[in-house]
Amino acid sequence: MSENDNIQDKLLALHAAYTKTLPDKIGHIESLWQTLQSNWEQNVLDDFHREVHSLCGSSALYGYHLLSAAARELEIYLKDIPNNKTAHTAEMDKHISQLLEKLVTAR
């Protein structure tokens, strides 16, 4: 086995391991969104935003470009949400839900 074959095998193993984590990563994001819908708290919003940001970057790295693009769209929207509870609206919930659905179906 050549060194290039060994590197390729390691990259394939990393990709496979990442692929196995995707359902949990996306499930965690969905869970955070469910929590936010029942109790809009800044720390949960921050966690939600951070997890979406992380998924955006890591999914692009592993070749899940549609998933990355959907996560990026949600991340950009979340970035513009004001840091106060009074700014939370039903329209915001609807838009986030639509973007999250796009993310879930992108994988």
Query: pLDDT digits over 15-32, tens only?
Result: 999 999 999 999 999 999
Residue 50 forms part of a structural domain: yes
pLDDT digits (tens, 9 = 90+) for 74-89: 999 999 887 766 678 8
The domain of 55 spans 23-106
**Whole-angstrom distance, CA of residue 39 vs CA of residue 35:** 6
Identify the CA nearest to 87 among candidates 53, 49, 45. Answer: 45
pLDDT digits (tens, 9 = 90+) for 48-64: 999 999 999 999 999 99
What pLDDT shows up at residue 87?
Answer: 73
Question: What does the radius of gyration of the chain's CA atoms come to, in whole angstroms?
Answer: 16
What pLDDT shows up at residue 1?
Answer: 66
**Total domains present in the chain:** 1
Residue 49 forms part of a structural domain: yes
What pLDDT shows up at residue 84?
Answer: 65
Residue 7 forms part of a structural domain: no
Residue 11 forms part of a structural domain: no
At 85, which CATH number?
A: 1.20.120
Residue 10 forms part of a structural domain: no
